[in-house]
Amino acid sequence: MADSNTIRLRVFSLNCWGIRYLSKHCRERYAMIGELLNREEHDIVLLQEVWSEKDFLCLKRKLSSTHPHSHYFKSGVIGSGMATFSRHRIHDAFLYRYSLNGYPYMAHHGDWFGGKAVGMVKLNIGRLAAHVYVTHLHAEYCREKDSYLPHRVVQAWELQQFIRHTSSGADLVILAGDLNLHPQDLGNRLLRTYTGLRDSYTETAKFDGCEDGITFIADNPFINPKELCPFEKGIRIDYILYKGSGRVSIQCESLSTTKGSVPDHPFPYSDHEALSAELQLQTLTQQAGGDETRGEQDCAAGKLAELVDIVTEARTEVKVGLYCAERMRYTAARTGVMGMALLLLELAIAAVPWLALGADQPFPRASFYLLGVLCFAILITTFLLYIFYTMEVKALQGAEDQMRLAVGSLQERLRGFPLAQPLNPLCRPLDRQDPCPLEPEE
Amino acid sequence: MADSNTIRLRVFSLNCWGIRYLSKHCRERYAMIGELLNREEHDIVLLQEVWSEKDFLCLKRKLSSTHPHSHYFKSGVIGSGMATFSRHRIHDAFLYRYSLNGYPYMAHHGDWFGGKAVGMVKLNIGRLAAHVYVTHLHAEYCREKDSYLPHRVVQAWELQQFIRHTSSGADLVILAGDLNLHPQDLGNRLLRTYTGLRDSYTETAKFDGCEDGITFIADNPFINPKELCPFEKGIRIDYILYKGSGRVSIQCESLSTTKGSVPDHPFPYSDHEALSAELQLQTLTQQAGGDETRGEQDCAAGKLAELVDIVTEARTEVKVGLYCAERMRYTAARTGVMGMALLLLELAIAAVPWLALGADQPFPRASFYLLGVLCFAILITTFLLYIFYTMEVKALQGAEDQMRLAVGSLQERLRGFPLAQPLNPLCRPLDRQDPCPLEPEE
């Protein structure tokens, strides 16, 4: 493989919806997934929502001959649910846990317990260093009134940061997973524009799959179509993204998705559709360009300006989240103070004779204890919530600080461009094979 | 500065012990620290335990002319306490929060609330890309029976991972902070051997400071010398580490520490001593070597073998931590079950007549309620503890998995060396200026 200048790399991604005892036909679906992977022998398999390690180990056994290398990322209480299988040796793994990931008291949503994160494995494909990322962002439960939006934006921010900062030495970068972001959502634009990652769906030469590349489709029997409203047919939230470097040029030869059913099986692999991309890696004999033309400079400046806008938009979203988190923290504090006041009042009634009921009435012991317990419960709950919201505030402030720094730095670089002509915001990045067209020139 | 081939870089690090209202002479000490930094004009200032953002902002105002660039890292409930000031523009910042950091119920130790992390800022020094890291690891409260050891080992593991994976594109790497690790502690060896970072104290040409470079000294008036036992004079736990790359060679020209008192002031800057290092950066005209000699190969193999031993030792420590965490989780679960059984028994006594007291005795309402409350309190506490310990178990398992993967990968590379002669474990790394002598050849 490494002898030739061209390498073909097949990448697979699937959100497995693998909640033992809760997800429908979980065991049977894992068996089907195992069969598929065994048969197709993709180079790299990136799975999400493999919530049980037992299921991972079962898959690992089944794939031991086709995919001898694997890694399961652990995080949170039941997570991270992310697993990777590879035909190429994995020589390093690293996990970044997102600082924000929903609320523990929203147990029915479960995201907090899943410990959402981005995992990275480093592989050598021939003589090329591949950094492969898998992630799963916080779900969107209600698009109109999405209280988790700031969390998802911060996750997308941290995801792009993690990829940018850990991919300097990579010849190729691949990210796959359930981003829970529509193609034009803020987090998606932030991720793609900042990292220079390209979407296999929009870039592929050949596509075979659901209309518009949707991966969460109304036709899937595990999905309640009402939940998809107003997107009747479905939404595209699962992705395989990639980029090359000065040493490697990548083209997406083909992309396919499953289509809600599997031939000869009564149900599909999961509630999400699986993605399979075939990438063609072309090793370059010499480093890309050096003499930039004026047009290319304008392009880079246009991209920078676009990025400034996107980060500013993200910052606004984070500020909205910050306002909400601060308000929630204030509410928790106020409720706690009221609980404390009630407790003190009660103690005063019990201790100071003239505040108590007349001597002719018996002391209402049961009510006294119940009220006391209520006060204590309020105090403890509000204390825990106060701590939690303070951490949320800190994380949001931290992200906002970093975004402010990034905007300043981008604007500084923008000032370095000689702008005689107006920018052309529609042009493509400087060099499509550039490892990261928007990394500062170090 | 960038015109010459030689650049002088002065780096300062101090754990400020800045707990408002609790640390002694906090305000006065910050004023002294501000004066010192204003006067000395170090290129890069890395502070820890600046717990209050107000104090950071106050320092920022004071240093606005000497250090126009700064970043404050936010994490946890009151943390991360880490701040950086720079004379060179900071164009990017990124924070990695350690997955393990003590226990929230150990509130008197406070580490959990501090949200310990490693922060990175990217600077351009002349034409060189500097990645500068600041960190503060979990404190050691009792060396003989250190229940936090697995947490600190995992933190050191994640620290080296973070530095390795984010420093590929750097011309020079600097790490400073309070590691809470003695020079030969496992975490310290792990960090230095894996990253190739060099300790300014052992490498410096000129040293002026406390004996043996100690930074937490018995002579400091804020320290109770009994706490240092058995290290009568003090311990060295604060560090400035650095490494160059193929483009830059770094030498530590001088290192100095404060010595427990400040001339003309009644007390020192902090309970820790400050470190000041003067680094000389020599930009190299061509990339370092290419033709390895046999001796150098042996050296690299020796280092790899040493690293395998260190990671294996770390893995053992993490396994001990895992055993303890699993035991604690089991205890929490068992206590929870007992609380539940007690609650059910109580409900049965109240509901089933023949289980109750005789009809001649009144129902003991107060005891009934109190016992019920106790059961509920047990249930809630054990539930929260169970969740927490599960997260601890997951994090420890995750670290152990990554360590196992690393050992396998290192051994694989070790097999690639032609070993005719026995290894020489004492020889120095392959190339002292190598960006990371132990990074896999990508």
Mean pLDDT, rounded, of chain A: 89
Q: What percentage of residues in chain B have a pLDDT greater than 90? A: 77
State the amino acid at position B321 in one-letter form. G
User: For the purposes of burial, counting CB atoms within 10 Å of the CB of A264, is it exposed (0-12), middle (13-18) or buried (19 or more)?
Assistant: exposed
pLDDT at A288 over 90: no
Q: Of B57-71, B90-104, B349-363, which range is least confident?
A: B349-363
Determine the pLDDT at residue B83: 97
Residue A365 predicted with pLDDT over 90 = no
Q: What is d(CA A245, CA A255) in angstroms, rounded to the nearest whole number?
A: 21
CA distance B384 to chain A (A): 11
pLDDT tens for residues A398-428? 999 999 999 999 999 888 876 544 444 444 4
Q: Which ipTM value was assigned to this complex?
A: 0.90
The helix (H) or strand (E) run that includes residue B47 is: strand B44-50
- H/E stretch holding B235 reads strand B234-235
Give the mean pLDDT of A18-45: 96
User: Which token pair is B12?
Assistant: 């300062």
B115 sits in the region (left: phi over 0; alpha: psi -120 to 50; else beta) called left
DSSP class of residue B158 equals H
Q: Among B72, B82, B91, B155, which would you mutate to test the A interface (most chain A Cβ atoms within 10 Å of its Cβ)?
A: B91
Mutant choice from A92, A131, A384 vs B, greatest count of B C-beta within 10 A: A92
Task: Decide which of A320 and A5 is more confident.
Answer: A320
Where do the H-state alpha helices sit in B167-237?
A: 186-195, 200-203, 225-228
- For residue A73, list chain B residues with Cβ-Cβ distance below 8 A: 398
Question: Residue B274 has which token pair?
Answer: 């400050």
pLDDT value at residue B354: 66
Residue B372's pLDDT is what? 86
| List of chain B residues whose C-beta atoms are within 8 Å of the C-beta of residue A92 | 165, 405-406, 409, 440
pLDDT, tens digit (0-9, with 9 covering 90-100), for A145-177: 899 999 999 999 999 999 999 999 999 999 999
Neighbours of B220 (CB within 10 A): 24
Residue B367 pLDDT: 78
State the pLDDT confidence band at B191, using cuts at 50, 70 and 90. Answer: very high
Say what the pLDDT of residue A354 is: 67
pTM: 0.91
CA distances from A217 to A237, A272, B387 (A): 10, 7, 34
Q: Strand order in A117-125's β-sheet?
A: A90-97, A117-125, A128-136, A172-178, A238-243, A198-199
Position A238 confidence tier, pLDDT thresholds 50, 70, 90 = very high
Confidence of residue B438 (pLDDT cuts 50, 70, 90): low
pLDDT of the residue at A3: 47
Structure tokens at A170: 């990579």
Smallest Cβ–Cβ distance between A129 and the set B370, B402, B442 belongs to B442
Other Cβ atoms less than 10 A from the Cβ of B291: the count is: 5
Rounded CA gap, B78 and B101, in Å? 13
Query: Any residues with CB less than 8 A from the CB of A69 and at least 6 apart, and which?
Result: A85, A86, A87, A88, A89, A90, A123
What average pLDDT score do residues B403-428 get? 72
Beta bridge partners of A130: A123, A172
Tokens of B210: 């406390």
Whether residue A250 is predicted with pLDDT greater than 90 in this model: the reply is yes
Give pLDDT tens digits for A312-344.
999 999 999 999 999 999 999 999 999 999 999
Which run of H or E residues covers position B325?
helix B294-351
Tell me, what's the pLDDT at A287? 53
Planar angle of CA A149, A153, A157, nearest 5 degrees:
170
Q: Please count the other Cβ atoms lying within 10 Å of the Cβ belonging to residue B371.
A: 16
Q: Is residue B432 over pLDDT 60?
A: no
CB contact under 8 A, A171 and B124: no
- A86, pLDDT greater than 70: yes
Q: Does B314 have pLDDT greater than 80?
A: yes
- When pLDDT is averaged across residues B60-71 and rounded to a whole number, the result is 97
Is residue B436 very low, low, confident or very high in pLDDT (cuts 50, 70, 90)?
Answer: very low
The pLDDT assigned to B358 comes to 61
Which residue type occupies B267? F
| Cis peptide leading into residue A80 (ω within 30°) | yes
- Tally of CB atoms within 10 A around B2: 11
Q: How far from the centroid of its chain's Cα atoms is residue B295's Cα?
A: 34
Highest mean pLDDT of the ranges A368-382, A428-442, B248-262? B248-262
Q: Which has the closest alpha carbon to A342: A377, A307, A305? A: A377
Q: Which residues of chain A does B124 touch, with a Cβ-Cβ cutoff of 8 Å? A: 440, 442
Lowest-pLDDT choice from A194-208, A365-379, B232-246? A365-379
Instruction: Give every CB contact of residue B43 below 8 A, 6+ residues apart in sequence.
Output: B9, B10, B11, B86, B87, B88, B125
The total number of residues written for chain B in this structure:
442
Residue with tokens 């750097």: B170
Residues for chain A: how many in total? 442
A:B CB pairs within 8 Å: 142
For residue A156, the model assigns a pLDDT of: 97
Q: Which residue has the higher pLDDT, A35 or A431?
A: A35
